[in-house]
Chains A and B, each alone.
Chain A
C-alpha cells in the first residue's frame, strides 16, 4: 500500500501533518514540503486524500503479492 504526495500540487498547508491519525507525515523545513516519514504507521484510512486542499495526496491500495483466482 502506498501514500504519495505530488510535490507540484502540494501547497505546504500542513493539514495532513496536523490531522493524520498515524502521524505518518512530517514537514521538511529545508524543502518546505510535506513528506511521508513513517509509512509503517499508516492505517490507510484515506482521510489525508480527502482532506488535502490541493488533491496532492493519493492513497493507493497495494495488495501483497497474491494470485488472482
Chain B
C-alpha cells in the first residue's frame, strides 16, 4: 500500500480512559497542554470503574482515621512488602484533594450533614475507606474532559510507541471499528490502560467471563516492553474466591460481614491453615487453603452466612444492591438464600495484580525510566495494592508531569517511511484467507498459562509452559481477521502471549515462595535474599530479566 499514513500531533497523549487516564488528561489540560485521550471502548463506560466507584482509600480528615504512616504501613503489609512506602504515603495524603476535585464535578461524597462516611476495611482497624454513591463517575469525568477541550478518541488503540533514541515521541494508532491506521506525535505519553485480565482460563470457559474488566489486555506492558520500560511483580498474579460459575468481585464483602468458609464436610477448614485469623487471613493464604481442600478431595467449599444476624445479612444485600446488583440475580436464579443455604464458591480466573502492584515502575512524579513516558493506574507496579486511589492520585500526577515535560520539548521528530510498514504489519491479518483467529490463539495462551503458570508452580512446569508459549509465538504470522473487531482480537491475543511470557519468566526467576507466588520446589519464603523485585525490561524487543532493590 502506498497511501500516506495520516499523522496528527499533541502535547500530551494519554493511553486509556479509565480513572487514571481521565485524571491525567484533565490535569494536563488544566496545565495548558493540548491533550489527546485514546480509549479502546468509550470513556463513559470504560475500564475497571465502568459501573462507577463506591469507595476510595485515603487518609481523610475524620475521627478514627489513622496517620499517613499507618496508611502506608497497612497497604504495604497487604502487599507483603512488595511496594513503596513513600508512594503509598503520597496516595493517602493526596486522596482527599482528589475526592474534592471529583466532588466539584458533581460527585456526591458527603451525607446530608456534609460529613464524609469513612470506615475501616480488611487488614486494618483504622478508618481509611471513604464510601459514596459514584455510579455515574465515568460520565462526569467524560463531561469534564469534553468541557475542557480534551480530544477524546474512543474505539482507538495505540499499536506501538514511536521512539526517537531512548525517548517516546508518539504512537501509531488503530481505530477498532474502521481499522483505520494513523499516527500521532506527542511530546509526552501517559500509559493508563490497566492490567492484563484475559491471561488465564475462566471458570466457565467463555473468554470474557472475567471478574475484572476483560478489555484490559496488558497493552501498557507490551508498549512498555517495546519502549524499554522497567516493570515489576509479574509473578504475583492475583486470584480470588468467587461464586460457583460466576466470576465477580465481592468475596471480600462477604467476609467483611462475618461469613465463614466450610468444606463439603461442613468443617471450618481455615482452622487448619490460619487458626488465628481464619477467614480474615491474607487473601493468598485463603486461596491456597481452598485449592488444597479441593486437591485433597474435601471440596467443594462454601461461604456460610447462616449464623449471621438478620441485620448483617441485610447490610450485605444492601451493599450488593448498590455495587453489584447482578449478584442478587445470581442468588435468585440459583434459588439460594444465604440466610438458609450454603453458597458454593470456587477459585476465579487469575490475572496480573491490579491496584499498583504489577507493571511499570514509576517515581513520585509518575515518570517511568523512559524519557517522555509516564504511567498511572493498574498498569503501574511496585507501589503496592491501593486500587482506585492509586489511579486517582498518580493519574493526576502523571498529567501534571507530562504537561511539564511537554512544555520543555521544542519539537517532535516526524517519522518518515516506517509507518507504512507498521500499517501493513498491523492490518496484515485482515482479509487473510487461511489462518487462526485471535480468540483461538488467545484460548491456547490462556490454557497454557493455567496449566503451567498457575496457583502452584515448579521449575520444569514453568519451562514447559514457556516453551509452549514460544511455540504459539511461531504461529502469530498465521493470524487472520474477517472484521476490524477480530483484528483487535488478534492484537489482544498477541498481547496475552507477550504478557504470559513475562509472567512465566518472572515466576521462573523467583526461586522461593512469597505472597501470591507459590513454588512447589521452593516452598519457603527466603528473606533477606529474595526480599527484592523481579524486574522485567524490554531490550531490542526481547524480554530481559533482572532484580531491583525494594525502595526503603
Q: Which residues of A contact B (CB under 8 A)?
A: 1, 18-23, 38, 40-47, 50-51, 59, 61, 63-64, 66, 68-69
Q: Nearest 10 A-B pairs (CB), nearest first? A: A21-B41, A19-B45, A47-B45, A61-B329, A19-B42, A19-B44, A45-B50, A21-B46, A43-B214, A21-B45
Most buried by A among B50, B215, B336: B50
Q: How many angstroms between the C-alpha atoms of A14 and B51 in the bound complex?
A: 19
A21-B41, A43-B213 as given contacts; A63 in contact with B330, CB under 8 Å: yes
Of the candidates B177, B206, B213, B334, the one whose C-beta lies within 8 Å of that of A40 is B206
Return the chain A residue nearest B142 by Cβ: A19
Return the chain B residue nearest A46 by Cβ: B326
Flag if A66 contacts B335 (CB, 8 Å). no
Of the candidates B41, B135, B245, B334, the one whose C-beta lies within 8 Å of that of A22 is B41
Of the candidates B155, B244, B439, the one whose C-beta lies within 8 Å of that of A23 is B155
Of the candidates B204, B208, B325, B335, the one whose C-beta lies within 8 Å of that of A41 is B208
Flag if A23 contacts B326 (CB, 8 Å). no
For the complex, count residues of B whose C-beta is within 8 A of A: 37
Q: Determine the main DSSP class of B at the interface with A.
A: loop
A21-B215, A40-B206, A69-B342 as given contacts; A51 in contact with B45, CB under 8 Å: yes
Return the chain A residue nearest B40 by Cβ: A21
CB contacts (< 8 Å) of A38 on chain B: these are 485
Flag if A44 contacts B335 (CB, 8 Å). no
Nearest Cβ on chain B to A16's Cβ, whole angstroms = 10
Instruction: Please list 7 pairs of residues, one from A and one from B, whose beta carbons are closer than 8 Å in the complex, sorted by A's number.
Output: A21-B41, A22-B41, A22-B214, A23-B176, A23-B485, A43-B214, A63-B246
B12-43 at interface with A (beta carbon < 8 Å): 41-42
CB contacts (< 8 Å) of B272 on chain A: these are none
Flag if B50 contacts A47 (CB, 8 Å). yes
Nearest Cβ on chain B to A1's Cβ, whole angstroms = 8
B338 CB–A CB distance under 8 Å: no
Return the chain B residue nearest A16 by Cβ: B45
CB contacts (< 8 Å) of B79 on chain A: these are none
Flag if A61 contacts B41 (CB, 8 Å). no
CB contacts (< 8 Å) of B176 on chain A: these are 23
Most buried by A among B42, B45, B46, B209: B45
Flag if A68 contacts B204 (CB, 8 Å). no
CB contacts (< 8 Å) of B333 on chain A: these are 61, 63
Q: How many angstroms between the C-alpha atoms of A18 and B333 in the bound complex?
A: 30
CB contacts (< 8 Å) of B214 on chain A: these are 22, 41, 43
Nearest Cβ on chain A to B262's Cβ, whole angstroms = 13
What does the 1/0 interface line of B191-225 toward A look like (CB < 8 Å)?
A: 00000000000001011111001110000000000
A40-B439, A66-B245 as given contacts; A23 in contact with B204, CB under 8 Å: no
CB contacts (< 8 Å) of B177 on chain A: these are 23
What does the 1/0 interface line of B134-159 toward A look like (CB < 8 Å)?
A: 01000000000000000000110000
Flag if A61 contacts B326 (CB, 8 Å). yes
A40-B206, A63-B330, A63-B334 as given contacts; A23 in contact with B51, CB under 8 Å: no
